[in-house]
Structure 1
Amino acid sequence: MKPIILKEHDTNLSLWADAQDDARVSHAARALLAHLRARGFTVEHDMTVSECIRENYHEARKGDLQAHVETWERTVKIEFYQNVVFKNRHGGRYDFDKRARMPYLIGKQYELERDKIAVMFAGCGYLFQRDIKRTGMDYITHRRAELSDFHHRDMYDESPPASNSKSATGATIAHRDTVYFVDGGRWKRGVAYHNINNMWRVLLPCGSVRNLSCRELRHRSDIVEFTGRHFDSHARLKAVYRAMERAVDAADLRKIASLRDQLMPADGGAYVISLHHTQRKNRYITVWGPCDAGYYARLTHAGKYSVSHVLKSPGYYNSGGTGNIAVDAETVERLATLTRPGEYDGAPGPALRNTATVWKALLANVVSPPATEPQPEYRGAPRLKEAA
Structure 2
Amino acid sequence: MQIQREGCVSFGEARLAVWEEGIPREWDAKVIWERKFKREVFKRIIQTLNRIGWTVGEQTHIFTDNNSRHCVKGNLQADLKIRGRSIELGFFQSVNTPDRADHGGRYQSDKEKHMPYLARLEMQRTRTRIRDYLCNVFTGYTFKASDRKCGLGGMTSIEWINADYVSKRRFGPPDIPAADYNSVSGDKKTIQHGSQVWTTDRKGRWYQGTAFVNINNMWWVAYGKYGYTNKACFELFVDRPADIRTKKNERARRQRLEDMIARAVAGMNYQRAEVLRKVLFPEPEPLFMILNVKDGVYFRPNYSGYTSDTIRAGKYTRAELKPYLGDADEKDDLKAVPISQAA
**TM-score (ref. length: structure 1):** 0.56
8 Å CA contact retained: 2:264, 2:272: yes
Query: Unpaired segments of 5 or more residues in structure 2?
Result: 1-6, 24-32, 47-55, 57-61, 73-77
The answer for the alignment partner of 1:78 in structure 2 is 88
After superposition, the Cα gap between the structure-2 partners of 1:211 and 1:61, relative to the gap in structure 1 and judged at 3 Å, is same
Aligned 1:181-192 pairs, distance under 5 A = 181-183=199-201, 184-192=203-211
From 225, 231, 250, give the equivalent of 1:213: 231
The answer for the alignment partner of 2:198 in structure 1 is 180
One-letter code of the match for 2:227?
Answer: V
Kindly state the Cα deviation for residue 5 of structure 1 after the two structures are TM-superposed. Answer: 7.1
Q: Report the count of equivalent residues.
A: 295
Aligned 1:1-388 pairs, distance under 5 A = 6-9=9-12, 11-14=14-17, 25-26=21-22, 33=38, 35-39=40-44, 59-61=67-69, 66-69=79-82, 78-81=88-91, 88-91=101-104, 93-95=106-108, 96-97=111-112, 112-120=129-137, 123-124=139-140, 126-127=142-143, 129=145, 133-134=151-152, 139-148=156-165, 150-151=167-168, 155-156=172-173, 158-159=175-176, 167-168=185-186, 173-183=191-201, 184-194=203-213, 200-204=219-223, 207=225, 209-214=227-232, 217-220=235-238, 226=243, 228-261=245-278, 262-263=280-281, 268-278=286-296, 286-314=297-325, 319-320=331-332, 323-327=333-337, 329=338, 333=340, 335-336=341-342, 351=343
One-letter code of the match for 2:206?
Answer: W
For 1:144, what is the secondary structure of its paired residue? helix
The answer for the alignment partner of 1:282 in structure 2 is none
Query: Unpaired segments of 5 or more residues in structure 1?
Result: 17-23, 43-47, 50-57, 279-285, 337-350, 352-388
Aligned CA-pair RMSD: 5.1
Kindly state the Cα deviation for residue 272 of structure 1 after the two structures are TM-superposed. Answer: 1.0
For 1:220, what is the secondary structure of its paired residue? coil
8 Å CA contact retained: 1:7, 1:129: yes
After superposition, the Cα gap between the structure-2 partners of 1:155 and 1:260, relative to the gap in structure 1 and judged at 3 Å, is same
After superposition, the Cα gap between the structure-2 partners of 1:92 and 1:220, relative to the gap in structure 1 and judged at 3 Å, is closer
For 1:90, what is the secondary structure of its paired residue? helix
Kindly state the Cα deviation for residue 276 of structure 1 after the two structures are TM-superposed. Answer: 3.4
Tell me which structure has the larger Cα radius of gyration.
Answer: 1
Normalized per residue, which structure has more strand? 2
After superposition, the Cα gap between the structure-2 partners of 1:151 and 1:310, relative to the gap in structure 1 and judged at 3 Å, is same
For 1:212, what is the secondary structure of its paired residue? strand
Kindly state the Cα deviation for residue 149 of structure 1 after the two structures are TM-superposed. Answer: 5.2
One-letter code of the match for 1:7?
Answer: S
Kindly state the Cα deviation for residue 139 of structure 1 after the two structures are TM-superposed. Answer: 0.4
Post-superposition CA distance 1:90-125 (Å, at most 9, x none): 35643423986969999976654333223346x216
CA distance in 2, matches of 1:82, 1:302: 44
Kindly state the Cα deviation for residue 141 of structure 1 after the two structures are TM-superposed. Answer: 3.5
User: What percentage of residue pairs aligned between the two structures are identical?
Assistant: 19
8 Å CA contact retained: 1:194, 1:201: yes
8 Å CA contact retained: 1:275, 1:324: yes
